[in-house]
Amino acid sequence: MAALKQFFPGVIDYSGRMSAGYSSGRALSAETAITWTAIVTPFVRRGPNIRILDLGAGTGRFSELFAREFEANVVGVEPSTAMLAAADGSAQPKRLAYVAGSAEAIPLRDQSCDLAWLSQVWHHVRDHQACARELQRILSPKSHVL
């Protein structure tokens, strides 16, 4: 009898074809972008130098939306180098950056973000407690995790 493979979250290989076609398959329509902006707006602080973390940013569909709509500084953290390579920050080059990192070791300073956004990423996180500690560390007081 063959041994069953154990499932581990986060084992999807986003290199190659997956990263190359991800943006076209997951693009936000104008209507969807408006909906997500309206949902997130109550949680975004207003003012200069607002910083949003897009954890598990993929190719940056929400990073770009938030940089544009909230005029915020957005950092997309993504563990897949192929997804980072497919991300296009040219639309908001002054307010948008992508960096390699994981949910368990977010490469940002303590209390450096005003909002953390995790879209379709929680099931990829291997150590939820470590991720929660990292989010608590990088978020400024009274910030939100969405």
Q: What is the pLDDT of residues 33-85, one digit of tens each?
A: 999 999 999 999 887 789 999 999 988 999 999 999 999 999 999 998 887 88
Phi, psi for residue 111 in degrees, rounded to 5:
50, 40
Asked whether the whole model's pTM tops 0.85, one would answer no
Helix (H/G/I), strand (E/B), else coil: 81: helix
| 32 vs 11: CA distance, rounded Å | 28
User: Of 82, 64, 131, 74, which is closest to residue 102 (Cα–Cα)?
Assistant: 131
Helix (H/G/I), strand (E/B), else coil: 101: coil
Q: What is the pLDDT of residues 96-132, one digit of tens each?
A: 999 999 999 999 999 999 999 999 889 889 999 999 9
CA 85-126-43 angle, to 5 degrees, is 70
| 40 vs 32: CA distance, rounded Å | 12
